[in-house]
Each structure stands twice: as C-alpha cells, then as structure tokens.
C-alpha cells in the first residue's frame, strides 16, 4: 500500500520492528498550520502525475482514468492563483484524492485535498456537462482555500464565512477590484490567524486612500449590518410620475407570506448600495453605487433624469445582495421592453434578476402573479426552445448546454408539444427492462456458504443448486448476481427428474455462453433448448467479499477489551441477496431454501429455519464445521438471513423464541424476550393464522443500517432498537422502552404482512409497511394497554406524516419503481405511515394492491357497507396513486343551517393555486359531531365526498350558536378548516375550564395540529391558531401537548434568530409551560 500526507515523503521507507509487513513513511516538516488541515491517507490507490511531478491525483485503480480532467485543470488553476494573488503556493507539492466514502463534497487539507469521488472524477462521453463544470468549480474552490483559510486562517469559527465566502467567489474567478488588497492582507498575516475586523480595517484604509468612502464611515459599520443580522432586504421602488422623485423603502424579505408586515425600530436595516439605469441611459457597465441607504428605512431620490414614460431598473448586474420590486406602472414598462425585439437592451444578468425577483416576490405575496407570469410564459420558452433545440451538439458552449437543460425541463413541465414528444422518444431509447424474464422460475435453492472472518481474509466461498421450473421454451437462464465472481468453468445445468434420485439418466444441458449484464445486474447463461414444463438444476460455484457497507453478506465487529470480535451477517432488503449468492432476486419469485453454513468451531450460526442436530466437518479446514438447516417454506430472497457470530442467547420457556446479543449486552434482552412471545401469540389469535415457522430468533447487531429487518424467523435489529436496561439502573428511559416494543411489534407483524403475503413488486411496498406500521400499535397495545398507544398513533404517525405529505416534494404511496436505487428511495416515512388498512391474506403467495381492493370490495358488498356500483379500488386509487392529501374547508350558512364542504390539496407552502378539473380530488369519508351530540365514539362515515370539489350538507341539527367538528377521532387522512365563527365557537368550548374535555383528547390534538399548520400555510389567521392553543394552560394530557410542540417547533425555528423571539418565548412558551408544570405538581402534592 501507499501513504501520503500534507508534505512530501522524505527518503526511503524504514522497517517497522516486530511488524515485518509494515514500513514507516516519514514526511518533511510542514509550514505552520491549523490542526484541522492535517491529513494522511493509507491506500492502494493509483496516481497520475503532472509533467513537473509536483501535482498528483489519486483514485481507485478502476477509476484512475476518470481523474485526468482534474489533473488537466488543477495545475493551471494553481498557477493562475499564484499569479493572481502574487503569492507563490506555500508548499512544495499538491495531492488530490478521490475517496469512495467521504461525507463532505471536498476538504482543503493543505497540500492534500480530499474529494468525494463525484466531485473530482469525470468520464468523457458518460458524465454530463454539468458534472464537468461541477468538478472544475469544486477543484477551484479547494485550491483557493490554500490561500484563504490555510495561509490565512480565521481566529475562530465565528469567522468561517471569511474562508468559505472568499473561496466560493474565487471558484468563479472574481474579485478583480480587490486582488491587490487581498495580496497585501495575505502577506501581512501569512501563517497567522485573522478575524473579520482585520479585513474591515484593511478595506477601510484602502477605501480612504482611493477616496471611494467618506472618512466618517468605516467598512465595519457597513458590513456589520450584513454579517451580524439575519436575512437580506427587499427594496421597494415607488415613483412619483408628476415630480420625478423616487422613494426607496427597505424591509427584510421573507418567502413566507405571514401577513401584514408592521415595520418598527426593531426590524433589521442594512447599508444598501444603490445602482440604477434607465431606458434612456442603458448603462449596465457602471456598477459603482450612486447612493447608499445608510441603514435607514427609506430615502427619496430626486433629479434622476428619467421621464414618466421610461422604465428605471435598480441593482445593476445584480451586484447588490437584495431584491427589488416596483410600482405597477414601472413593472408594466419593463414587461413592455422585454416583449420587444430589442429585449436584449436589458443585460442578460438583469433579465435573469427580473425573472427571479418577480416570481419570488409573487411567491411571498409581494407581487401579483399576473405580473410575474407576464415575464415568464410559454411563448418566451417556445422562442428559446427553438434556438437551443433538444439534443446536445458537439462544441456547444457550456452556457448553451445549461440553458438547454433548464429550458427543456420547463418546456416539458408546461406541456410544450415538441418537448414532450422528444422526451418520450428519448426515454424509449434509454429505458431498459430490469425485471427478470418469467420463462424460468425457482422452486428450491440448496446453498452452501463458507465465510472467512478474520483480518486479512474477509472472503466467502459458495456453491448453489437451484431447482427451476420452465414456464416457456427458452435458451437462457437469467438470474441476478452482483459483486460476486462466478466460476464459469464449473457451471452446469441438467434436467431434473424426481424418479431418478441418482441422477444417472438425467440430461446434461449444453452451455453456449455465460455473460454478465452489469446494467441489469444479471448473470445470463445461454443454453441449448430448455423445454416448457420441465425442471432443471442450475449448479454454480462462486466467491465473494464480506463488505463493510452493511448490505448483502457483510462483516461487522465489536470489541472486548483490546480484542476485535468479528461477525458475518446479512441485510438483503430490497435487492442485495444477489450480492451473497446467484438468485432470482425479485419478491414475487418465492422458493424454498435449504441452507448450509460453514463456521469456525468456536462460533455459532443461525438462519431462518431451525438447525439440524448433526454438524459435519469441513474436509480441508479442520477448524470449521458445517451447520445444516431445515428446508424453509416458500419465501422471497430478500427475507433470507444467516449470521455467524459468538453471541450469547436467551430463550423463552418453550425454547421456540430466542434473543441473541453480545455477552456484555445479553442481560439487556430480557425485556424483548418477555414481550416478544406474547406479541407473537397475540398475532396468531388476532389473524387466526398460526405463525408459519417452528421458531423465532432475534439478533441485536452492533452495525446495522436499518432500525430492524423482518427476515422470516430471524429478525435483525440495531442494538438500540431491541436492548433495554432496567429503569432502576438509570440508563434507558420510558421512550426507549416504548420504541423497542413498537419496533418489535412492527417486525413481528411482518411475519404475516410481507413474509406470508408478499407484494409482487416494490411498487406496492406500502402494503408491507403501511399494515405493519399500524399493527405495531395494535401489537404493543395488546401487551401494554396502560400506555394508550392507540391514542398516540394519531400524533406520532398520522400527524407527523401530514408534515411530509404536505410538501410539493411528496410522492404517492404506490410508486412505479425499477432500479435498485429507486427501490431504496421509497423506504421513507410516507410509505411507512400514510396508509393503515387491514389485509386479507393469500398465504405463501405474492400480491398487489388490486388483490386487496378486490377482497375488501367483496366483503364490503356482502356486509352492505358499500354501494354495489362502487369498488374499494375506485376509492383507494385516489389515495394511493395521487400525491398528498386534502384539506376540507367547512363553510356554514348560519341562516338556513346548511354546510358546504370543499376539498383541495393541502400544501405547507403558501402558493396561490388556480383550481382546475385536473387537480387532485379524493374520496373522503365524512364524520362529524356537534356541541349537542358530543358523540366521539361513532367513526362510521355519514357521508362521502366522491372525488368532487364540494358538497352541501343539510339538516345536520346543529344550532347557529353551537360548534360542529369534522373528522371524529381523526380517523380520516385529511385536515379540516372552518369558517371564523365556527372556530370561535370551538375556542370558546376549549377555554371552558370545566367542559373542554367534552371534546375528545384525540380531537383536541387534531384541532391544535390543524390550526397551527393551517396558519403556517396561510390558510388561517394566526390569531385564531394561537387562540386554539390558549386553552393548553388547563391541558394535562400528552396528545394535545405533543401536537402543539411539533407544530410550534416550526415557529420556534423561524423566530429564534429574530428580534421578536423574546416576546414569543416569554409571553407564549413560558407561560404555557409554567402553567402545565404547576398543575402537574399540584396533582402530585
């Protein structure tokens, strides 16, 4: 291997006494530098070197050619900076290294810069133009740090922006005006630390000398308004078209349209450099400020020589860090100019500024959207679309490529006909089918694995026989294999006959060719004809590597004293069984498994099924023995599991339920062992289906990426997800205890939902996770009813899901996925939490959502709870195939008693939306109760909104003076908003100290959660939302407070750096918390 560090290596390596395979590398003494810039690497990487030998790039052997671009530009950038700063690079060499695992994008270690691979490697013809520019920009940024940050370093992290601000600017090669000044500053404090005041002092001195700053003002006075305040200003330009004067007003710009802004002395004010040009002047070259706003709310400009019929434009070339809005007349004149043939009279940067400012001003409620869209509409896109075209051309300038990317994105989003047509054709040309062909399906796997788990050898050797059924005549056996090496010389296929046990008469199939399809992760065996209806045995031998990526068949470790103990374990969901053995790695392709694991004699192995009593020796490895396992029921490959370790075990009374952990942690498994068998028995009774396997093992692993994994009969957990230390020891709290119970209940429910009945494909992953996420509360409630977890479900699952599902970036729970990376991405909170519906089983089979809808429809029609012309599929498709969820707005007519319910998608971003028939509509179950009824037990829908925008309800028997409340016990997945009067009636009820509990605890939590999030989205006045929470001074239940804390955390985060935060903290948070604490104390006393 090789080592590198900040400085060059000196002399020859020196032998290490007592370690024959190691040598010492010694390095030259460095210049003075901070500890965070020290770096050293030991690797087997390859290197490429510049002509003078002083600049090297390092990467994996397979990736070293992709470092050529960085090597081409790196020395040139370094030389440019030397000339630009007039300071020679202080070190004698530069190394740049591309690392496979690196949390940051890059790190500027002095003389040894480290990069994430994607930030340094570029492959011509494969990587995009955007990737090429990104590599150049990142390399420029890190090399600039060799001066800014390394040669001159901030005294403390408070001034981190001095590092990153300069480097971020220098990556685009700017700062022409101050390069000499920076040179002087750098020389003065080279190899020292600095703070922002050093910079302000130097800039002030130079500005006085150049007479560009009044002697009564310092740069510090100006810059403190930018570095010590939060945010940036919006400058509002208001023209007086009679006398020619212009008023400029500043305020902080915020994207959230939180209502009317009341300016006060407490609001931030900035020193703002004012630049402008006009229709007559058209001077976009002079960016020298003509005026300053000196931290003042407003100023008046006179004698600007702009006629009333001319537009004026501020912030030339967007050199100032502020947005600009204008009065309507000036906006209209700018729009008129942009729609002329000579629209380029306005510079390209300012055209970009106008678009960016206008659309963001509209988003913030500071500008009418009609003005914003007049600037950026499809006809303008059409023009530029025709110019740039759809396909990249050789020699296209970089900015043309970037323009094309953005224009195509937006043109297709706006349904530009030619763009859509080209995009569809490109997708057809690119898309490959990664699903296995169904001509052959597995019936039985016989697997032998020998893992080697000691330092220096983390390989595994394997052999597998797969009994397959041929469903159609074929000449190919196609299965999955990745990161394993198949011995092609060993591969054989022969016909199987159950009557020929000795295999003497079976036909050997001729193998024509074997090849790997890397893109699909396939291993393809081309054969002579395999006949429909026949069975064949595919026999393969392979080797692999126990990786440390926590996927596939991987290695883990823990320490006892100074000794490292090794573990070989598995994590196959969703698509990593193929990394352990060749297989048909799709959930629908279930088969039986006969597993055999070799292990060191001083260790133990476990797998999905019970171990047969007799072990057998390994002829060539006398320290190993074979463990043989009973044949499994049919199951998907992602549920297969096996572990080799030296863990201790504790067992249930009948011996069928075992928990495994490190020796030092085994006592902490007692709690899981006490509740696990009870949950398993509860589920058997609840589902009226016996647990299908003869035993259950649970293993607590030190290194485990997921929280837990439901492998059939061998569930694996992160240690924190299953180990509990008794409270009297003062270590694990009640939250941990409940989390362990919920996690265990979740994974045990998967033994039915997911394992016994499995989705055909990952598109229906929600069938697995939605059911299990609901059943974890049912199972936990069965063993710990005093925890009231069914009530907690609303705030922990339903309401937390709302927050994610209310974003534009949400996705439907039923998503079409193909590639392994796409499959991994859908294991998120929306998939886990959004739907909770009970299942009708199809044992040992795979299923899809339509199987469930059909079964539910059949039962609902039988029970006469669903109209015979409606199907569950029709209802549920609106929930599973659409993104997001609705808010139902309740508008009461207090004169005639009617109520109008209107639905729309709820979004947290306050964006004005124009209703359209194409917009999302849901089938919504309507439940309600009133001040008179107070019936919170009946959650059966009294009415449905049948994917319609609005409905009218009559004769609900509720007086104008009484409140009505919808979504009883929050059993529906939607928010509810009311007219102001009904909100006031609810608030009055909540503030009735004696009777606020007339509203159920779940609905009190719902009202708080809905109100605060409706206010956040701009759908409800914050006065009403805060009045809803005012009753909390009398609330002692957990659920309403949990809902309040979650919703208020957003306000806390938004206000914490504002000048008004103390009022929020003292007048709102403190008073509520103190009240609740006093009540709880009085109850204890």
Known binding positions: 746, 750, 769
Per the structure block, which two tokens stand in for 148?
């800014």
Nearest to 870 by CA among 967, 813, 941: 941
Per the structure block, which two tokens stand in for 212?
């560009």
Dist CA 275 CA 340 (whole Å): 24
Helix extents (H) in 622-705: 670-687
Chain CA centroid to CA 430, Å:
26
DSSP reduced 3-state for 192: strand
> DSSP for 581-626?
S-B--STT--BEEEEEEEEETTSEEEESSPBPS--EEETTEEEEEE
H/E stretch holding 1015 reads: helix 1001-1016
88 strand-pairing partners: none
Nearest to 798 by CA among 768, 832, 764, 769: 832
Are the beta carbons of 436 and 589 closer than 8 angstroms?
Answer: yes
Annotation marks residue 142 as catalytic: no
Are the beta carbons of 7 and 27 closer than 8 angstroms?
Answer: yes
Cα atoms in the Cβ-side hemisphere of radius 13 Å centred on 1035: 27
Are the beta carbons of 96 and 74 closer than 8 angstroms?
Answer: yes
Could you identify the residue written with the tokens 């009333």? 308
Nearest to 768 by CA among 586, 587, 632: 587
User: What backbone torsions phi and psi does residue 33 show, to the nearest 5 degrees?
Assistant: -155, 165
Per the structure block, which two tokens stand in for 894?
């207090």
DSSP reduced 3-state for 374: helix
Could you identify the residue written with the tokens 């939607």? 974
Nearest to 486 by CA among 406, 392, 566, 578: 578
DSSP reduced 3-state for 297: coil
Dist CA 103 CA 118 (whole Å): 12
Cα atoms in the Cβ-side hemisphere of radius 13 Å centred on 806: 22
Could you identify the residue written with the tokens 């685009």? 172
**Options 747, 776, 791, 970, the catalytic residue:** 747
DSSP reduced 3-state for 507: coil
DSSP reduced 3-state for 945: strand
Helix extents (H) in 633-669: none
Could you identify the residue written with the tokens 């009022």? 1063
Are the beta carbons of 160 and 109 closer than 8 angstroms?
Answer: no
Dist CA 177 CA 132 (whole Å): 28
Per the structure block, which two tokens stand in for 703?
């290194």
Secondary structure in 3-state letters for 354-368: HHHHHHHHHHCCCCC
Cβ contacts of 297 within 8 Å, gap of 6 or more? 249, 250, 263, 269
Per the structure block, which two tokens stand in for 354?
């106008």
Dist CA 576 CA 1001 (whole Å): 45
> DSSP for 156-189?
SGGGHHHHHHHHHHHTT---GGGHHHHHHHHHHT
Could you list the residues known to form a binding site for Zn(2+), using ranges: 746, 750, 769
923 strand-pairing partners: 946
Cβ contacts of 1053 within 8 Å, gap of 6 or more? none
Dist CA 167 CA 149 (whole Å): 9
Which residues are designated catalytic?
747
């Amino acid at each position: 291997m090789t080592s590198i560090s900040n400085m060059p290596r000196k002399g020859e390596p020196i032998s290490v006494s007592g370690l024959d395979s190691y040598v010492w590398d010694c390095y030259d003494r460095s210049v003075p530098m901070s500890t965070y810039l020290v770096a050293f690497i030991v690797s087997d990487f390859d290197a490429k070197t510049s002509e003078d030998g002083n600049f090297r790039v390092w990467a994996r052997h397979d990736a070293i050619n992709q470092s050529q671009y960085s090597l081409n530009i790196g020395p040139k950038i370094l030389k440019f900076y030397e000339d630009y700063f007039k300071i020679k690079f202080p070190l004698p060499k530069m190394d740049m290294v591309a690392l496979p695992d690196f949390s940051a994008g890059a790190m500027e270690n002095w003389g040894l810069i480290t990069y994430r691979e994607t930030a340094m490697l570029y492959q011509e013809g494969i990587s995009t133009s955007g990737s090429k520019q990104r590599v150049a920009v990142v390399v420029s940024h890190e090399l600039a740090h060799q001066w800014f940050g390394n040669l001159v370093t901030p005294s403390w992290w408070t001034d981190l922006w001095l590092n990153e601000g300069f480097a971020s600017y220098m990556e685009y090669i700017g700062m022409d005006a101050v390069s000499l000044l920076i040179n002087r500053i750098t020389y003065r404090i080279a190899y020292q630390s600095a703070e922002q005041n050093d910079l302000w002092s130097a800039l002030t001195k130079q500005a006085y000398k150049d007479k560009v700053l009044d002697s009564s003002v310092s740069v510090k006075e100006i810059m403190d308004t930018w570095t010590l305040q939060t945010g940036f200003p919006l400058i509002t330009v208001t023209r007086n078209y009679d006398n020619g004067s212009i008023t400029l007003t500043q305020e902080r710009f915020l994207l959230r349209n939180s209502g009317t802004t009341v300016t006060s002395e407490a609001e931030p004010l900035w020193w703002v450099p004012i630049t402008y040009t006009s229709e007559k002047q058209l001077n976009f070259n002079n960016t020298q400020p003509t005026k300053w706003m000196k931290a003042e709310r407003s100023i008046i400009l006179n004698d600007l020589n702009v006629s009333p019929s001319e537009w004026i434009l501020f912030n030339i070339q967007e050199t100032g860090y502020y947005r600009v809005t204008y009065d309507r007349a000036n906006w209209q004149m700018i729009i008129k100019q942009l729609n002329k043939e000579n629209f380029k009279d306005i510079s390209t940067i300012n055209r970009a500024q106008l678009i960016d400012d206008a659309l963001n001003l509209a988003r913030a409620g500071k500008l009418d959207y009609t003005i914003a869209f007049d600037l950026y509409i499809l006809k303008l896109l059409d023009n530029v679309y025709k110019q740039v075209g759809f396909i990249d051309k050789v020699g296209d300038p970089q900015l043309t490529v970037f323009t094309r990317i953005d224009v195509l994105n937006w043109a297709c989003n706006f349904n530009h006909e030619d763009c859509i047509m080209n995009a569809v054709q490109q997708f057809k040309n690119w898309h490959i089918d990664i699903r296995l062909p169904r001509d052959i399906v597995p019936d039985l796997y016989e697997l032998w694995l020998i893992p080697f788990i000691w330092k220096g050898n983390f390989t595994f050797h394997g052999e597998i026989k797969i009994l397959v059924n041929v469903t159609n005549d074929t000449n190919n056996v196609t299965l999955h294999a990745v990161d394993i090496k198949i011995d092609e010389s060993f591969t054989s296929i022969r016909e199987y006959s159950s009557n020929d046990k000795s295999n003497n008469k079976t036909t050997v199939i001729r193998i024509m060719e074997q090849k790997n399809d890397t893109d699909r992760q396939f291993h393809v065996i081309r054969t002579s004809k395999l006949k429909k209806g026949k069975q064949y045995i595919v026999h393969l031998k392979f080797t692999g590597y126990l990786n440390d990526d926590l996927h596939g068949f991987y290695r883990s470790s823990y320490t006892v004293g100074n000794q490292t103990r090794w573990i070989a374990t598995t994590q196959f969901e969703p698509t990593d069984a193929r990394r352990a053995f060749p297989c048909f790695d799709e959930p629908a392709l279930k088969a039986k498994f006969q597993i055999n694991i070799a292990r060191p004699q001083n260790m133990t192995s476990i797998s999905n099924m019970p171990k047969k009593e007799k072990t057998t020796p390994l002829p060539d490895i006398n320290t190993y023995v074979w463990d043989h396992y009973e044949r499994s029921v049919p199951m998907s490959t992602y549920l297969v599991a096996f572990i080799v370790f030296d863990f201790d075990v504790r067992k249930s009374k009948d011996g069928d339920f075992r928990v495994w952990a490190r020796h030092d942690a085994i006592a902490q498994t007692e709690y899981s062992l006490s509740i696990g068998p009870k949950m398993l028995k509860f589920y058997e009774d609840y589902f009226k289906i016996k647990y299908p396997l003869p035993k259950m093992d649970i293993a607590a692993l030190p290194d485990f990426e997921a929280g837990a994994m439901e492998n059939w009969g061998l569930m694996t957990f992160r240690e924190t997800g299953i180990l509990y230390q008794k409270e009297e020891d003062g270590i694990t709290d009640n939250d941990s205890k409940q989390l362990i119970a919920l996690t265990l209940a979740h994974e045990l429910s998967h033994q039915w939902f997911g394992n016994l009945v499995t989705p055909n494909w990952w598109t229906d992953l929600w069938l697995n996770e939605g059911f299990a996420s609901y059943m974890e509360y049912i199972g936990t409630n069965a063993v710990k009813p005093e925890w009231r977890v069914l009530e907690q479900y609303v705030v922990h699952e339903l309401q937390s899901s709302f927050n994610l599902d209310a974003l534009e970036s949400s996705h439907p729970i039923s998503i079409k996925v193909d590639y392994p990376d796409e499959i991994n991405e859908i294991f998120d909170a929306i998939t886990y939490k959004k739907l909770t519906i009970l299942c009708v089983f199809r044992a040992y089979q795979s299923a899809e959502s339509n199987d469930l809808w059909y079964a539910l429809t059949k039962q609902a029609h039988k029970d006469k709870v669903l109209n015979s012309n409606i199907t569950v599929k029709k209802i549920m498709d609106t929930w599973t195939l659409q993104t997001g969820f609705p808010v139902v707005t309740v508008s009461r007519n207090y004169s005639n008693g009617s109520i109008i319910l209107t639905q729309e998608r709820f979004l947290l971003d306050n964006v004005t939306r124009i209703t359209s028939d194409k917009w999302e509509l849901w089938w919504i179950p309507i439940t309600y109760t009133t001040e008179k009824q107070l019936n919170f037990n009946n959650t059966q829908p009294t009415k449905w909104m049948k994917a319609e925008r609005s409905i009218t309800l009559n004769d609900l028997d509720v007086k104008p003076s009484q409140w009505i409340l919808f979504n009883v016990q929050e059993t529906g997945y939607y928010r509810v908003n009311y007219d102001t009067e009904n909100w006031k009636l609810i608030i009055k009820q909540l503030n009735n100290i004696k009777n606020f509990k007339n509203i159920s605890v779940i609905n009190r939590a719902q009202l708080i959660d809905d109100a605060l999030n409706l206010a956040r989205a701009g759908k409800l006045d914050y006065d009403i939302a805060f009045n809803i929470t005012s009753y909390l001074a009398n609330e002692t239940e957990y659920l309403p407070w949990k809902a309040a804390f979650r919703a208020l955390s957003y306000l806390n985060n938004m206000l914490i750096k504002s000048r008004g935060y103390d009022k929020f903290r003292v007048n709102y948070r403190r008073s509520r918390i103190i009240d609740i604490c006093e009540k709880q104390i009085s109850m204890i006393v």
